[in-house]
Each structure stands twice: as C-alpha cells, then as structure tokens.
Amino acid sequence: MKFRSLVLIFALLSALMLGAVSVGAQDEGIFAGMTAEELFPGAVNEFEANSAMEALLAANLPDATDRFAGQTITAAVIQGGPRGGISGPLFFWRDAFEKATGATLEIVELPIDQLLTTTATDFLTGQNTFDIVYVGSWFYGDYISNGWIIPIDDFIGREGFPEWDPSAIAPALDVLMTWEGQRYGVLNDGDAQLLYFRKDILDDPEWQAAFLEETGTELPNPPRTWQELLAVTSFFNGRDWNGDGDPDDGISLHLQQRNQGHFHYMSLSASFAQTFDPADPSRVTETRNVYWFNPVDMTPLINSPGHVAALEFLKELVATGPEAQIGWQLADAWDNFLSGNAIATFSWGDVGSLAQDPSRSTIQGKLGAAPIPCSDTWYDLELGEFVTDTENPNCIGNTVGGSWHGVISSRSDPLTQELAYYWLAMQATEPISFWNMAFGWTGVDPGASFHLFEPEGTATVEDFVNAGFDPNDAEQYITAYGDNLFDKPAFQTYLRIPGTPEYWDILDQRLAEAMIDQFTPQEALDLVAEEWEAVTDDLGREAQIEVYQAAIGFEG
C-alpha cells in the first residue's frame, strides 16, 4: 500500500472505541489479533498508541521471522531514555520489530559526548559490540576512513525488507548520508535550524505601532536578517509583552559548554563568513562555499574577519535574553520559549512539534517560523573585505546538527547486517517516519518529501492537524522547514572529517570563554585556529586534506 498522507493513518480513529485497539480480520498478517497496548507499551495515551498502530499497519512490514527468529542486534544511540530524543523511537517501536522478525533488539545508550569515542574504541579494540550505531553526520570521517561501516546500496529495494524511498530525502540532507557516491545512512532525523518567534505578538498592531514609534522603522515580521532579529529582540527584551506581570525575554538560547551550544554559533556565523558564486552557488573553491578550512592546505578559517564579526554579533544577541542562557542546556532554552517567556529562538525542528504538546507548551496556535536569517553584512574571502547589502543579504542555508541516523557495522556477520537493515528500513518507511516526525518527543525532525508541503513535498496541513497540530502552526513550521532545505542558494559546508569532535570541542570551549568575556572574540577564535592547526598536524595534514576535500566536494 502506498502511503501518502497521515489521513490514511488517522481516518479510522474516530471509529475506534477508547479501549485497546486490535487488528481486525481485514488486517490479517504478522500483527493480527494484537492490540496497540501490547505493541506500544511506552505510549502515554490512547491517541499515541492507536495512531502508532495505524502507522505500523500502513507500513506493510514483511514477515521476516523465517529468516531472523532467534537473532539479536545491538544498537548504540545517544542517551535519552524511552521518551528521549533519538533514543525514544528505538524503545517505542522495538516490540513491533521483534514481532515482525522474531529477533531481539538490544539498545545501548551512551552520553552524546561519548558516543563517538566509545564506539570508536569498540571498533578499534575488536570488541565489535554494536551492529547499528545512530551517528551524527560528523562521525562519517572517522567511520568511513577506518572502514567501520558498510554501504547499504545493495539492500535497498531487496524483497523481504520494509520499503522506503531514498529519493524522498531532501538533497541538502541526503548528501550527509552518502560518501563518494555510496549510501551509508538510512532516513531518520533531518536537522536544520529555523528561526521561531511569537507570531501573535509580531502580528499585534499595538506592538507594531510601538516599535515604529520607538525605532522609526516597521517591525520586521518575520525578521529576515540577523540584524532585523537583533532589533526585534532588543525591543522586546525586558518588557512584559506576555501580560504576566514580569519582564520577558528577547532571545532564548542554550549555550552550556559540551551541550551542543556551539551549533547556535555555526548556524548564525555561516552568513557572516561563507559566500558563494551566484552563477554556480554549489561550487566549492578555495574562497567560495568554505567555512572551516582552506581546502588546499587546511589553514583554519575560523578566525577570519567574518567569523570574528559573527561572534561579536552573537554576544550582542545573547545580551537580549537572560544571563542564565550561558549555562542552559537545550531543554532549558526550548522550555523558556515554549512557556511563552521569549519572543524568539533559533533551533532545530523539535521546537515546531513540541509547541503542540500541551504538557510542555503554552504557545500552541501562536507559533511563527521562518528560515534561518541571512546577514546584511558579511566578509567576502575572495574580495578580502566586508560587504554590506541590505537589499540582497547573504543567505546560507544550514543542516546544522546531527541528522541522527543509523549505520551498519562492517564487523557484523551478513545475516546480522540484514537484520540491522530491516530495522533501519522499518523506521524509514513513510508512515512510521511521518509518525516519528510528528510527535515532538522523538527528536526526529523533517527531512523527507512526505514531511513537507508542496512544491517540495506531498504532505498537507490536514496531515499535521490529524497528528495534533494547530493548523497555523503547522503551516508556519513546515513551510519554513521546506524553504530552509530547498530555497537557500547555498548551504554551510558540513564538517565530516577525522577529528571533527576534537575540532568542535575546542571551538565549543573557546566560544564559552568568549561569552563570559574571558577572551575577546578575536582572541578566542585565534586560539581555536592555533589549536586546530595542532590537531591537524597530529592527525596528518596530507591525510586530512584528502578527506576534507572529498567531504566538501572540492576538486581543485
């Protein structure tokens, strides 16, 4: 059955009694006679369980018990628990997988900052504990150069496995799952950062008039540039715009060291520091579409004038929010925005779906979303000077984050690799993937055409309404996500080379020090460049150049 819409999943819900749902005679197959309660014991309510049951049936999984009964696969994933981001779906769908295959799925959770080092050590020492690893896309440099994972091209479309369509993956994300023409990753999470804001406040004529009177300019709605965003957050910070009697915040970010805070800097700084050739926006040269290093000699670009200007700007932006942001984890920043205390944030797709969860959000129906802002001032590496253009700002899309997805160990035996692929393909089927994306607690963000609206995709607002979304929120969120993935002329180059976590840990540390004024932005980024040079030399400069050029598509 070809699944195109969540309407197919939820259409039967109105006819279902509020008790446990079992599969009727018309649905005979591997799940016949089983209830949603039996297959999804981790569901928190009947709607969640029943909708998952309908997604499972729509996935039309093949019975694989004759091949896999009694087998076991072990998956490593970031630590989040049964309701945590990325880890949650493994627990949630495990019983259904085990019923379909007769096999056992063992889940090993590891702290996010230890996932790569722990799995790498496991591979290097020959323990070979893991058949699947849910990697961040930056793992590829280490994993592929060491031969730890296998391409999956030969599995795709093979009879007896769940059906999924790799061509549905947005191209900007798909490139992160492939390497030199071979596919290693299976569709799961699609990370990109958006701008989120309180649409109800920016739409309010009284606030619009107040902004005009105070600043002499129209209220940007939505902000299209970082400079416009700063004007908005500066105006609203410290005012009681939500009517609760207390001053409220402009921006809400998480900046705690070693907690992914450096990704905020990445997505902001791209349009300050990376440029492209309008005649060929995707072409990578020594000065175009480069962000991290000079691809010829691996000289760091991180302390170039554009990066320094971006860090100076980030400090200005952070000052329009609470001082506590410096120590906030991701959930802290999300909750401050979701509880109605901040006018804006920029973060991953989770915000759009979590805003629909009444247990966590007070802003359902009030959400605004837009693609990540551009910058009206940037440094052009080719020209060697800053450029300012308010009419045609520099716009760089991002796929910042992990885009967490499963890869298969080369150390597993062939039958185990087949079983591992069955699990990953099951999660990538259209109905199950849509379900995971629509429920915010899973950590799975949009990344496929069936998650997005026309013209990029096939989803509809009704699909999201049936999954519990406010229709206006869905329109804002998914439209912005599609624009961010398809309408930007160029994308920030993604770092996928050996040593990426070490490079990023250095950056993360120095950013944190700059945020508390231990160093100036220039001093902090100069230290980053110096330490990056040492890492490159330790790993072997020539080898790093070769992998970096392959990773970013530089051909000289």
Q: Is the pLDDT of residue 3 over 50?
A: no
Q: Is the pLDDT of residue 13 over 60?
A: no
| Dist CA 491 CA 45 (whole Å) | 40
pLDDT at position 28 is 52
Q: Which of 88, 31, 71 is nearest to 437 (CA)?
A: 88
Query: Is residue 195 within 8 Å of residue 346, measured between CB atoms?
Result: yes
Q: Which stretches of 204-260 are assigned E, i.e. beta strand?
A: 249-251
Query: Is the dihedral angle over the CA atoms 466, 82, 126, 145 positive or is it negative?
Result: positive
CA atoms within 13 A of residue 182's CA, in its CB half-sphere: 11
Query: Is residue 55 within 8 Å of residue 47, measured between CB atoms?
Result: no
Q: Which residues pair with 379 in a beta bridge?
A: 386
Which pair of structure tokens corresponds to residue 482? Answer: 């599609």
| Ramachandran angles phi, psi of 152, nearest 5° | -115, 10
pLDDT in tens, 336-389: 999 999 999 999 999 999 999 999 999 999 999 999 999 999 999 999 999 999
Listed in sequence order, the residues at least 6 apart from 414 whose beta carbon sits closer than 8 Å to its beta carbon are none
How does residue 23 score in pLDDT terms, banded at 50, 70 and 90?
very low
Q: What percent of the chain has pLDDT over 90?
A: 92
Query: What are the distances in angstroms from CA 371 to CA 176, 192, 447, 487, 489?
Result: 20, 9, 15, 9, 12
pLDDT at position 113 is 87
Position with higher pLDDT, 260 vs 8: 260
DSSP, res 394: B
Report the chain's terminal Cα–Cα distance, integer Å: 47
Q: Which of 113, 106, 102 is nearest to 76 (CA)?
A: 106
Q: Provide mean pLDDT across the span 32-48.
A: 94
CA atoms within 13 A of residue 56's CA, in its CB half-sphere: 31
Q: Is the pLDDT of residue 16 over 70?
A: no
Q: For strands 342-347 and 249-251, give the pairing.
A: parallel
pLDDT at position 259 is 86
Residue type, 34: M
Q: Is the pLDDT of residue 235 over 50?
A: yes
Q: Which residues pair with 300 in a beta bridge?
A: 293
Q: Is the pLDDT of residue 251 over 90?
A: yes
pLDDT in tens, 127-161: 999 999 999 999 999 999 999 999 999 999 999 99
Q: Provide mean pLDDT across the span 483-491.
A: 93
Query: Is residue 491 within 8 Å of residue 397, measured between CB atoms?
Result: yes
Which pair of structure tokens corresponds to residue 177? Answer: 């799952």
Q: Which residues pair with 195 in a beta bridge?
A: 346, 370
Token pair 């929120």 in the structure block, residue: 473
Q: Is the pLDDT of residue 26 over 70?
A: no
| Dist CA 193 CA 264 (whole Å) | 8
Token pair 């932005």 in the structure block, residue: 521
pLDDT in tens, 49-78: 999 999 999 999 999 999 999 999 999 999
* Average pLDDT for the chain: 93
**How many residues would you count in the chain?**
556
| Dist CA 29 CA 62 (whole Å) | 9
Token pair 């080898």 in the structure block, residue: 543
Q: Provide mean pLDDT across the span 32-42.
A: 94
Q: Provide mean pLDDT across the span 452-459.
A: 96
Which residue ranges form the domains of the chain, and what is each CATH number? Answer: 195-400+491-552 (3.40.190.10)
Q: Count of CB atoms within 10 A of residue 1's CB?
A: 11
Q: Is the pLDDT of residue 451 over 80?
A: yes
